[in-house]
Amino acid sequence: MGHVILQRLVDDAGIADHVRVSSSGTGDWHVGEHADPRTVQVLAEHGYDGSRHRAREFDPDEFDDLDLVLASDEGHVRTLQRLARTPRNRSKIRLVREFDPEAVAAGTLETGDPWYGGPEHFARCFAEVEAACHGILHHVRDQLDGRLAGRAHSQHDPEQP
């Protein structure tokens, strides 16, 4: 869900040339498979197309190329921290819902896994993830604005008006 939602937000914000969104799991259980039909359904109900999504496994070699690695729950955080080879890479790992102020205020930072539930669990998961994705977009835009401003400043010749 998160990949599909965040990619749409990044595209709509016009920053897709500067931001790469990808998705992967911490295990190989579903590599190559489509998203769960219930996920595709709830996404479609909210105007998102999850039909092209394919599962893949996270490759620890990717850490060096990533600025932010998002996890849905503490178990995934622990797995990713074990895979991270440096303190810098471990510092990139965050829970998705850390970017949702309401989740932070409520202390509910883990995303509920809808797998064993019914449609209401997928609807709840969608709401949690979409809210967090708006916060992630805000964070990414702030980081991007800072980088772009830094580049513009470093390229500015103080001798030129």
Q: What is the pLDDT of residue 126?
A: 98
Q: Count Cβ atoms below 10 Å from residue 131 Cβ, excluding itself.
A: 18
pTM of the model: 0.90
Question: Which residues does the chain have with pLDDT short of 70?
Answer: 152-161
- pLDDT reported for residue 155: 56
Predicted confidence (pLDDT) per residue in 53-66, tens digit: 999 999 999 999 99
Please write the tens of the pLDDT for every residue from 69-78.
999 999 999 9
Residue 156 to residue 6: CA distance in whole angstroms: 33
